[in-house]
Amino acid sequence: MPCPAAPISDYGSKPVVLESSVVTANPIPPQIAAIQRPVPELMTWYFWKALATTLAFPCTIVLFYFRYHTMRYRFDEEGIHMKWGIIFRQEIMLNYSRIQDIHLQSNLI
C-alpha cells in the first residue's frame, strides 16, 4: 500500500513511491519451540555408525557419545540454531530467509 505523502526524486521527473509494509512473523508453535535435545534414536544411529568403523570403534563411540550429549537446538522467529561439542564447539545458525528449496523423498526402505 503506497504512503499518502510520497517524496519526489531529485534525479528524475517521475515521483518515487515508498511502500510501507509491515512484516509479521508467524509465531513458532510451542511444541516445536520446546525441542532442545536430539531424539534418543540418534544415539542408536551413532552406535551403528561407530560400529561400522570396526577397529576405531572405541574412539568413534566416545566422540559420538559426547556429540549427542552436548547437542542443543533452538527454534525461534529468525531460524534454527544448533550447537555441539566440548573442546571444539561448533554452532550452526540457519535463517529461514536463506532456505530456498526443500525436496523430500521417501521410498520403501
**Does the CA dihedral 4-5-7-8 come out positive or negative?**
positive
User: Which triple of cell numbers denotes residue 107?
Assistant: 521410498
CA atoms of 103 and 25, how far apart (whole Å): 24
Higher per-residue confidence, 19 vs 90 = 90
Q: What are the residues facing 15 on neighbouring strands?
A: 8
> Which of helix, strand or coil describes residue 96?
helix
pTM, two decimal places: 0.57
Q: Which band of pLDDT confidence, cut at 50, 70 and 90, is reported for residue 43?
A: very high
> Which of helix, strand or coil describes residue 97?
helix
Ranges of H-type helices in 16-72: 30-33, 41-51, 57-70
> For the segment 53-100, what is each residue's pLDDT rounded down to a tens digit?
989 999 999 999 999 999 998 888 888 899 988 888 999 999 988 888
> For the segment 3-17, what is each residue's pLDDT rounded down to a tens digit?
455 444 444 555 555
